[in-house]
């Protein structure tokens, strides 16, 4: 659809509803939702060399190193289905990853259209995270993920705001209303 952002990053803490919204927005825009978390979990499941390397890191709620993530994302964004746009869910998560993404886009003569931050209060995040707890998620790992987010990823909100790309959306609404709010921000020009 013309006039809508086509290269999009979703930012938000674990439990903010990012994965759910990524799928809904990507379907509406007919672009792939690219979740680095899903890609890494698939690698672990498949028992690939990458999976072997990152399995322990995922289980601990820590971040896979930036160089490995650069390889994963560079390969994925070079796939034909990403040629006309994509929505990134879970990448970038560090300043260095944001720089890598800028480099990939630059090399392709492309720009990031929008960064959407889904804003949810911290107490609510913990409550939700405990609610959707996977079998191998202990409360400790959940808290670790939030901590890692605050330290490494939250600063990207300022990074993208400074570049005029950021739009914040209230994540304390129904799933449908959050989707509507995001779509509105993606349709708005400038």
State yes or no: is 18 an active-site residue: yes
* 6 forms part of the interface with ligand AMP (CB under 6 A): no
68-73 contact pairs (CB < 8 A, 24+): 69/36, 69/93, 69/97, 69/100, 70/97, 70/100, 72/36, 72/39, 72/40, 73/34, 73/36, 73/97, 73/100, 73/101, 73/104
If the CB atoms of residues 85 and 90 are measured against ligand AMP, the closer one turns out to be: 90
* 14 forms part of the interface with ligand AMP (CB under 6 A): yes
Considering all CA atoms of the chain, what is the largest pairwise distance in Å, rounded to the nearest integer?
Answer: 45
* Cα angle, residue 155 at apex, residues 111 and 21 outer, rounded to 5°: 65
Please list every residue from 73 through 132 that binds ligand AMP, using CB under 6 A. Answer: 90-91, 93, 97
- Residue from the set 145, 156, 160, 178 that interacts with ligand AMP by CB under 6 A: 145
If the CB atoms of residues 45 and 184 are measured against ligand AMP, the closer one turns out to be: 45
State yes or no: is 132 an active-site residue: yes
- Binding footprint of ligand AMP on the chain (CB under 6 A): 14, 36-37, 40, 57-58, 61-64, 69, 90-91, 93, 97, 145
């Amino acid at each position: 659809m013309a006039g809508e952002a086509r290269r999009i990053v979703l930012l938000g803490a674990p439990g903010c509803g990012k994965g759910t919204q990524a799928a809904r927005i990507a379907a509406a825009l007919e672009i792939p939702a690219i979740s680095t978390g899903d890609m890494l979990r698939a690698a672990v499941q498949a028992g690939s060399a990458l999976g072997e390397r990152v399995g322990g890191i995922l289980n601990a709620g820590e971040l896979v190193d930036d160089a490995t993530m650069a390889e994963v994302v560079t390969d994925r964004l070079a796939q034909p289905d990403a040629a006309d746009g994509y929505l990134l869910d879970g990448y970038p998560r560090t300043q260095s990853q944001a720089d890598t993404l800028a480099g990939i886009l630059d090399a392709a003569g492309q720009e990031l259209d929008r960064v959407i931050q889904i804003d949810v209060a911290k107490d609510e995040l913990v409550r939700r995270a405990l609610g959707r707890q996977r079998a191998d998620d202990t409360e400790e790992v959940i808290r670790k993920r939030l901590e890692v987010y605050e330290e490494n990823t939250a600063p990207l909100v300022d990074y993208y705001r400074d570049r005029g790309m950021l739009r914040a959306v209230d994540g304390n609404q129904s799933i449908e209303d959050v989707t509507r709010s995001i779509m509105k921000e993606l349709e708005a020009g400038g």
